[in-house]
Structures are given as C-alpha cells and as structure tokens.
C-alpha cells in the first residue's frame, strides 16, 4: 500500500491496562514485564503496558511497539522510525528540541504542539493544520480500542499477547485495504452491507 514511502507519518501511544490501581498489588500476570504508568489523556494511573503506534498519512498502521506502562515515548520512537522520512507529527509527549534535531539528521521533521507556557514561532495556520491532521491517529487508535478491543488483555503470557495484538493490527490493515478505493478508507461501516 506504499505506507512507508509516505512523506507524512503520525505517532501516538495508547494505554493497555492489565488492571487499575485498586487491583494492581494482587495482579500476578506479566510481573516481569508490566509496570505502573499514567495516561494523561484519560487522567488515570494503571498497571500494564503502553502501545506505541506509527501510521502513515493515509491511516495505515506501519509500526507498533509494546512497552511497560512507564516507558518513555521518546525512547520508543527510535524503534518505530527507522524506515520513514518526511514529516512526523506527534503529541506533547514527544516534545523535545534535542530529539527534533537528532531526527532531522535522519530526514525526519518532528512536529508537535507546544505547551501553553511556550512561545510558538510557527505560523498559526500551520499549527492548526498539525492539530487537524493529528486527529487521524486519534481515529485509528479509537478504532483499535472500540472495534478491535486493543486495550483488553485477555492473555497470561507475552507470546499470546503479542500474537493477539498482531492479529488486531492485521485486521485493521485488512479493513483499510478492503476499503482503500473509498473516499474515506477509515470508515469501516462501508464494508458492511445491510
């Protein structure tokens, strides 16, 4: 589908909780790999994993990584961006001037929104465009969570968990491929004929 050749990619992460804090001390699953973390978007602390997703500008998932919930998004980014070039749009979790400069040596231009206390020298229309384009990865993550239940861990070992996550990403990619000739290939409702 040519997703890796795209000049625009988006990156974000999604919490994959094993359990919430009330039950975390009794949770015996993944004791050696899972950890405690915080999701700012949902304003919740949890015990589990963090899924990191890289998509193309058209919405195709190109890379996925799984880390403990306390993993740093900026460190995991390096595992995902080895085969891309062009613009990379992320959220405030990827905000780092040294990271931006280092990515530029690999022909990747990282664009993130700035914090409210920071001065933005970019043009206003450019910042609005970044925010608008970033909604695409929110759509993909929303589909993975709502339709494919990516945030549910119904396994007890890492092999079965990774197999389960790979099947969900493959199913999403297959739906995109089946719907690729549509004006809106991420509207999977068009695949079901009533």
Q: How far apart are CA 169 and CA 161, in angstroms?
A: 12
| CATH ID of 3-191, from 3.90.226.10, 3.10.510.20, 3.50.50.60, 3.30.420.10 | 3.30.420.10
Higher pLDDT, 194 or 27: 27
Average pLDDT, the chain: 90
pTM for the full predicted model? 0.90
**pLDDT tens sequence across 93-148:** 898 899 999 999 999 999 998 888 888 888 989 989 998 999 999 999 999 999 99
User: Strand ranges (DSSP E) for the chain?
Assistant: 8-20, 35-39, 44-56, 61-68, 86-89, 108-111
Share of the chain above pLDDT 90, in %: 56
Q: How far apart are CA 194 and CA 11, in angstroms?
A: 34
The torsion angles phi and psi of 20, rounded to 5 degrees, stand at: -90, 170
Q: What is the DSSP letter of 192?
A: S
Q: How far apart are CA 95 and CA 112, in angstroms?
A: 6
pLDDT of residue 193: 57
Is the pLDDT reported for residue 52 higher than 60? yes
Is the pLDDT reported for residue 188 higher than 90? no
Structure tokens at 85: 């070039």
Length of the chain measured in residues: 194
Structure tokens at 37: 């973390």
User: What are the sequence ranges of the domains in the chain?
Assistant: 3-191
């Amino acid at each position: 589908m040519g997703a890796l050749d795209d000049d625009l990619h988006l990156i974000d992460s999604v919490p994959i909780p094993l359990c919430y804090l009330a039950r975390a001390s009794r949770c015996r699953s993944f004791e050696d790999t899972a950890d405690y973390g915080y999701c700012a978007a949902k304003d919740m602390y949890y015990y589990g994993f963090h899924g990191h997703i890289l998509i193309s500008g058209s919405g195709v998932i190109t890379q996925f990584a799984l880390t403990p919930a306390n993993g740093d998004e900026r460190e995991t980014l390096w595992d995902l961006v080895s085969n891309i070039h062009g613009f990379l749009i992320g959220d405030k979790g990827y905000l780092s001037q040294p990271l931006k400069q280092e990515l530029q040596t690999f022909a990747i231009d990282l664009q993130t929104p700035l914090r409210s206390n920071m001065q933005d020298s970019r043009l206003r229309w450019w910042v609005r465009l970044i925010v608008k384009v970033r909604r695409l990865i929110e759509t993909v993550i929303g589909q993975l969570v709502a339709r494919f239940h990516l945030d549910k861990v119904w396994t007890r070992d890492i092999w079965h968990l990774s197999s389960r996550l790979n099947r969900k990403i493959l199913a999403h990619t297959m739906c995109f491929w089946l719907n690729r000739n549509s004006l809106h290939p991420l509207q999977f409702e068009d695949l079901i004929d009533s």
